[in-house]
Every structure is written in C-alpha cells, then in structure tokens.
Amino acid sequence: MELEIMGIKTSYWQHGEGKPIVNIHGYGLDHRVMEGCIEPVFSKIDNADNEWKRIYFDLPGMGTSEGADKISCADEMLSFVLSFIDKIVGDEDFILVGYSYGGYLARAVAAKREKQVDRLFLLCPVVIPDKRRRKLTPHTVLEHDSEFMNQLSKSEVKDFEDFFVIQNRYTWERYLKEIKPALVEVDNDFIRRYYKEGYVFSFDKYDQGKYFDNFEGPTVILTGRQDSVVGYEDVFPILEHYPKGTFIVLNGGGHSLQIEQESEFNHIFRNLLY
C-alpha cells in the first residue's frame, strides 16, 4: 500500500487488526528485516490477526519509498515517522518496535509521544551515532558452516560475513530474503549524504553524556553480546531513562541476532506482548 507523508510517496504494509504495532527498520534496510522477524511470532499466536495490527513501512530513500531529496537530517526523518504514525495509527495507543537506527528513531518517538506509546521494544538500537566513538566487540564468528559457505562466491557473501556471527545455510537464506534486497535497492547517494550531514538529532547531546530518552512505559532493550555494529556497552547507560525497562544482552547474537537466535528473540518479544 502507499500513502503520501510530507509530500513523500511512502510504502507500507499491514497485517491483522487490533492493537497497532509500529515497526521501524534500520539504516539502509527496509520493512522486510522487520516483517521477517516479527511475523513468525504472530504465526504461533492463536487469533493473532484479530488481536494485533502489525504495521511496517519503508523510510524515505529506502525500500520502495521515495523522498530522499526531501529529507536532509534526523530531525526531518523523525517528523516523517511521527507524521506516518499520525496518519496510520491516529490517536490510538500503540506498541513501538525499532531496530538499529530504527531504534534510535523509536527512542525519540517514545520520548515525544510517551502517553501514546504503550510499550517499547528496542532491538540492537543505535545509542552512539558517531561510529568512531562506539565501544564495539570485535567481529567474532561463532559458527561457520564451511561445507555450505564454500559453495558461495566471495562477492556473494562479503556483507553477510561482515555482519553475521552465525554463518550457515539458514542465516544465509534469511539474509537473502530480509536484508540483501534492501541493500541492492537503497538510494546509496542519499544514505551517504544523510550519514555525513544529518544522522544525529539536533537535540542529542550524547557527546556531552546527555541522552534524550524519557519513557516510563514497559520497555525491553535487546542487544547482542557479539554485536560489532552498535555494540551493547554503550546501550546500557540509557536504561536509567526507562524505569520499567528490561535490558538483555544475548550471547550468540550479533547485529542480526533476531535471525541468529530466532527462538530466543521470539520468546522475548512475545513476553513483551503478554
């Protein structure tokens, strides 16, 4: 489905009816990375389509959404997300889910719409926008299926091997379905320009040790012990801004832990719902 947000043709998808769950994907990705990990949770819940309305959308310049020329900075991206929520959700309470940079956006949405966000789920969220300042675990491969991986060319697996710590046929097939297509379709000129000129909120004073978080509802922050993209150490300090927050560091998971540790992810996410 499509609608216009701030003059931007925006692609979105909706499954089921009931309480809205708004899902925000990561930087340079699209809705498929969220749909791929969230929908299997609901496939095992009786009557899920009558109880939960799952909403996915592509951020400007990513997936099939347009408008890269209309977004110049994080503040404008946040305005876009808030406008999308206003149009699709209205004044209903909703659950908010954010992955990676989508978690960065979700933190701001929750702070600005605290009374409307019912619950918050942050998956491997960005906390330190400047990559050079992050405390990162070195990329560590925990499982490598050599027999399978040797069947693939080096060019095929470069991005996959850079971000996955569990490397086997299953994680590869999930990568091909949920991540790779977005990397191919993304507007690379926009991605480079945005990161250089406007990746950080104007109100984010992280370099002064100050955060913009402010949300008192139930919150789960799920991070990967082997996440070499955003890490987990920098994420922990924001927990004090979430008085009903639970912080989880999952061993055996990198920045794609929702794929690498699928059953653990499903269990943790379902617990947030119920």
* pLDDT band at residue 122 under the 50/70/90 scheme: very high
pLDDT on residue 129: 96
Partners of residue 53 on adjacent β-strands:
20
Q: Tell me what percent of the residues of the chain surpass a pLDDT of 70.
A: 100
- Residues contacting residue 113 through CB under 8 Å, at least 6 positions apart: 82, 85
pLDDT on residue 68: 83
Average pLDDT over residues 189-213: 94
pLDDT at 155 over 90: no
Average pLDDT over residues 29-42: 98
Q: Supply the DSSP symbol for 57.
A: E
pLDDT on residue 2: 96
Q: Nearest Cα to 171, choosing from 264, 261, 45, 73?
A: 261
Amino acid 184 reads V
Helix (H, G, I), strand (E, B) or coil at 120: strand
* Domain spans, the chain: 2-273
* pLDDT band at residue 184 under the 50/70/90 scheme: very high
Give CA–CA dist 255/262, Å, rounded.
13
Domain topology for 2-273: Rossmann fold (3.40.50)
Partners of residue 94 on adjacent β-strands:
117
* pLDDT band at residue 207 under the 50/70/90 scheme: confident
pLDDT on residue 64: 96
- Residues contacting residue 30 through CB under 8 Å, at least 6 positions apart: 58, 59, 62, 63, 64, 181, 182, 185, 186
Tens digits of residue pLDDT in 54-86: 999 999 999 999 988 999 999 999 999 999 999
Give CA–CA dist 63/83, Å, rounded.
18
Tens digits of residue pLDDT in 238-262: 999 999 999 999 999 999 999 999 9
Does the model's pTM come out above 0.95? yes
Burial 93-128 (b: 16+ CB within 10 A, else e): ebbbbbbbbbbbbbbbbbbebeebbebbbbbbbbbb
Burial 202-234 (b: 16+ CB within 10 A, else e): eebebeeeebbbebebbbbbbbbbbbbbbbbeb
pLDDT on residue 67: 83
Q: Are 30 and 58 in contact (CB under 8 A)?
A: yes
Q: Are 18 and 53 in contact (CB under 8 A)?
A: yes
pLDDT on residue 126: 98
* pLDDT band at residue 151 under the 50/70/90 scheme: very high
* pLDDT band at residue 209 under the 50/70/90 scheme: confident
- Residues contacting residue 81 through CB under 8 Å, at least 6 positions apart: 24, 59, 105, 109
Q: Nearest Cα to 220, choosing from 260, 258, 254, 252?
A: 258
